Structure formats: C-alpha cells, structure tokens
Amino acid sequence: MHQLNGLVVHALDSAILLASHSMQAPELIHLRRLVHRTNTGILAHSGVTDPIRIVLSHATGLPIMAVPPAAVELSGTEVVLHLPDDADDSVHLAGSLEPIDPRNDADADLWMVHHQTPEYPRMARLTVDLARRVDLVIDGPEVFVPPALSLGAIGRAVRRANADERRLLDLCERLALVRPEAARCVNADAFGLSIRARFGVLRVEFDPEQPPATTDEALDGAVSRLLGGLGGPV
C-alpha cells in the first residue's frame, strides 16, 4: 500500500497496475515520454509545495532537482513530485529524496548544464516508489530505469544538434512552436533533445511513431531523421 497525492492506492483497486512482464506496454512508454518531456514540477512535502526544475540522471534515470533545505532534511520521508503540476492528468511521483553534493556529483553538473542557476541551495535525487497518471498506477522502478545510452552517443547527438544554430532554431520553431533568439542543445535521450534557451529548456521530440531510441545506434538514427527533416546534410 502506498500513499500518493492523498489517495491510498492498492494493487487490486480500480486503478491499472502494470506488472513487470509488460514493461514495454504502450501506456508505460507514453508515461516515460511524458516524464522526459517535463523539466519543471511541484514538490509537495511536509504540508508545503515548492516549484522546482528537474533533469533525469544519465546514470540512474531518476529525477534530479534543486530543493529547499527543509525538503532535504526529510531524507527518507515520502514526498510527492507533480510533473508539471498537480492537475489530475499530470504525472504524480511518490518517493523519497536523497541529498547529493552540488559541488562533486555528475547529476548536479547535469542539472547545472540544463538550468544553470539553482533557485535553492541544496540538491537531491528522488527515488520513485510509485508513479500515477489518471487511472494508471505503476511501480517507480518500472518507469525510471538506468539509460542504456552511452555518454559518447549522447555527446555526439548534442554536438550534431549544435553544429548549425540556424538549423537548431528552425527545429525549435517547427517542433516546440517557439523560435528563441538563441538556443543550445544540452542533452539527448531516448525520446528527444533538450534545448536550452534564455527563458528555459525546450523539448524537441523524436518521431513518436518510432520506438524509443534506447541504443546508441538508434539515437544516431533518430537524430539524423530529426535534423534531416529540415533538409541539407546532417
């Protein structure tokens, strides 16, 4: 039994609980896509809520965030992270925070690359026990799995996206529906690219009709198709 967003969830209630044998079910893939799409959220803890910005760890796949000191002091106590907000159709994650050192941790470095200046002085990793969206309930470890992509493949995808800023701006305009004054790709994952602009991080997603790019070769191909859609050599 888990407590999630004020609701007691049982494996045998009217919610859908996906078992481990259905790890690639369409509902699970869609949930993972939504989590990767989101870089802002609301952290609920000890009766208060704080707006936060997240990134998913290259090593564990878990959410990394800058948090207020009061939240870190709850290490081991259940908190709820709402992505992107606490609306019914948002993604709600129940779990516990683990402090990380912002001066000496690769996950903290990744957060800084995405979001630059932290709004809170502490940083933490969220170990997710349970995820819910509408009537879908699933164990956290089924949603948040360590990425199989190598850092070399991720870096290669980022460099290719940044090789032509005009092409990158065109990509933002076509797929994120906004054309920033300047943009820089800061990450790649199985579902798309993260693009940092002055006002925040944009997501440019790969073709949803294609399987997630969970291997280095698949990521190379997804980036080629994405950039190739704008014409010219990639």
pLDDT per residue as tens digits for the range 122-141: 999 999 999 999 989 999 99
Q: In CATH, what number is assigned to the domain containing residue 189? A: 3.20.180.10
The last residue of a domain, from among 77, 112, 143: 143
pLDDT (0 to 100) of residue 230: 62
How many domains is the chain partitioned into structurally? 2
Instruction: Work out whether strand 136-139 and strand 16-18 pair parallel, antiparallel, or are unpaired.
Output: parallel
Mean local confidence (pLDDT), 52-68: 97
Is 234 domain-assigned? Answer: no
Instruction: Work out whether strand 192-197 and strand 16-18 pair parallel, antiparallel, or are unpaired.
Output: unpaired
Domain identity same for 24 and 135: yes
Mean local confidence (pLDDT), 5-23: 43
Question: Is the whole model's pTM more than 0.75, yes or no?
Answer: yes
Domain identity same for 122 and 62: yes
Domain identity same for 136 and 28: yes
pLDDT (0 to 100) of residue 166: 94
Domain identity same for 73 and 176: no
Domain identity same for 110 and 200: no
Domain identity same for 66 and 125: yes
Is 64 domain-assigned? Answer: yes
pLDDT (0 to 100) of residue 190: 98
Enclosing domain of residue 169: 151-228
Is the confidence at residue 219, as pLDDT, over 80? yes
Give, in order, the Cα–Cα distances in Å from 71 to each of 45, 58, 68, 194.
7, 23, 5, 27
Residue 134 near residue 88, CB atoms below 8 Å: yes
Closest by CA position to 205, among listed 3, 21, 35, 10: 35
Domain identity same for 123 and 159: no
Domain identity same for 76 and 107: yes
Question: Model confidence at 46, in pLDDT bands (50, 70, 90)?
Answer: confident
Domain identity same for 204 and 117: no
Is 199 domain-assigned? Answer: yes
Domain identity same for 158 and 137: no
pLDDT (0 to 100) of residue 73: 83
pLDDT (0 to 100) of residue 76: 75
Domain identity same for 24 and 128: yes
pLDDT (0 to 100) of residue 79: 95
Domain identity same for 137 and 159: no
The last residue of a domain, from among 143, 170, 189: 143
Q: In CATH, what number is assigned to the domain containing residue 63? A: 2.30.110.10
Is 63 domain-assigned? Answer: yes
pLDDT (0 to 100) of residue 14: 36
The last residue of a domain, from among 104, 126, 143: 143
pLDDT per residue as tens digits for the range 90-105: 999 999 999 999 999 9
